[in-house]
Amino acid sequence: MLSFDSAAPAGAGTFSTRAFYHKAFGTYKTALKKTAKKLKKGLTDISRRDIYYIELRYIEVKCMDNRIERVYVPMTETGFYILYCLQTPQHGYGIARQVEWMTNGELAIGAGTMYGTLSKMEKDGLIVFDREEEKRRLYRITELGEEVLERELRRIERLYQNSRGEKYDG
């Protein structure tokens, strides 16, 4: 039997590591096809509901691929602040106000930039829609988004230490 996470909802499991999909089969589609073949042959007791959960979980925690790294590292100032603010679920207007406060008014993110960036980040799997409150969509950062943010924070720390004439000890 396959190993499952305890974090999964009752009756739905995920494979214990994303490496199972990423390394064992190379791609997500191939993994689903192989799992479907096992289902047909009766070689596993994984249900279709489990496959659906695996699909959602894989999309949410996929490894940072080269395209994501090329697009987001180094990050734009806007992208950095949006991801940084989404460490707690927020809506676009709340993010804009927080960024304006954090930068003492030096950076103001307009609505078009904000929602264009949120849409792109959601499509790329860095953030997900969390819930709706008072007709406002709240977003939160995903594990992939946290990985990108952490990488950017290390890059900024390196730049800061180098600007002071220090060797980066990262």
Is there a contact between 66 and 50 (Cβ–Cβ < 8 Å)?
no
E strands present in the chain: 127-133, 136-141
| Top CATH class, 67-163 | mainly alpha
Tens of pLDDT, residues 2-61: 433 434 444 444 444 444 444 444 555 566 666 666 666 665 556 666 665 555 555 544
What are the domain boundaries of the chain? Answer: 1-62, 67-163
User: At how many degrees (to 10) do helices 143-163 and 48-61 cross?
Assistant: 10
User: What is the pLDDT averaged over residues 61-68?
Assistant: 62
Considering the entire predicted model, what is its pTM? 0.61
Kindly tell me if the per-residue pLDDT of 155 is higher than 60. Answer: yes
pLDDT of 16: 40
Q: Can you give the pLDDT at residue 72? A: 81
